[in-house]
Amino acid sequence: MTRLENKVALVTGASQGIGLAVARKLAAQGAFVVIQGNRSMQAAGDAVRDIESHGGRAAAVQADLAQEDGPARLCERLDALLRDRLGCPDLDILVNNAGVIKREPIEAVTPAQFDLTLNVNLKAPFFLIQGLLPRLRDQGRIINVSSMGTRVAFPAMAAYAPAKAGLEALTRLLAAHLGPRGITVNTVSPGLTETGMNPQLAGSEAAQQAIAGIALGRLGRPDDIADVIAFLAGEEARWVTAQCIEVSGGQRI
């Protein structure tokens, strides 16, 4: 399938979970995909090899998006990688998927936890977009990954949900700002999904309780989210921008 042929994509936090599913999907549809990882670079390398074994094209780059200079370092390393592999640093698709969550009510959140949550979930995407805008081609795509926790009140997401709400606000203003260039900017908000960010779900009573509140009767899978992101990355979504699309199977409706 070549709907994304000749497109270049960067997916942050793509060594596992939703990000990995997105990277695989975009590569399967013809894009050259750059996987950003940090501590899990071995997993990122494994993902590249898996994509290549299925006929796709991919590469991995390391950057710590929790650090002040993380977005700038990622831009520099991406630039060098793309010049080396493709002869051009330009980008078509940016998927801001990297995220961290520490489930705590407001009484338990420390300043350090709050700063980390804000840095990775909001500040890093902001400055990564800023750094990549000169290289993002007209008619490009920016897709931010948020959470249905901005719609439903989960008290244990006291720091995470506000950070993701800020990302959704950024989506809307960038859609207006970048519209003249034909760049679409959208948010995808997953519901409860079986990934490494939710290790407590495996076969648990909590999982069964959550499923009882999901209209479609199961937990989400990474591919459920990746399919929607892949749609937004393609030409078919050219008239979709400034949207927050919840992909939750109808959780807590």
124 is catalytic: no
8 A C-beta contact, residue 98 and residue 65: yes
- Residues 157 and 161: their CA atoms lie apart, in Å, by 5
Q: Which residue's entry shows tokens 């902001």?
A: 126
Q: Which two tokens stand for residue 151?
A: 């719609």
End-to-end Cα separation, the chain, in angstroms: 35
Sheet architecture: strand order including 91-96: 57-62, 32-37, 8-11, 91-96, 136-145, 184-190, 244-247
8 A C-beta contact, residue 117 and residue 164: no
The one catalytic residue in 71, 158, 160, 246 is 160
Sequence-ordered strand ranges (E) for the chain:
8-11, 32-37, 57-62, 91-96, 136-145, 184-190, 244-247
8 A C-beta contact, residue 15 and residue 41: yes
3-state DSSP call for residue 193?
A: strand
- Residues 14 and 90: their CA atoms lie apart, in Å, by 20
Catalytic site positions = 160
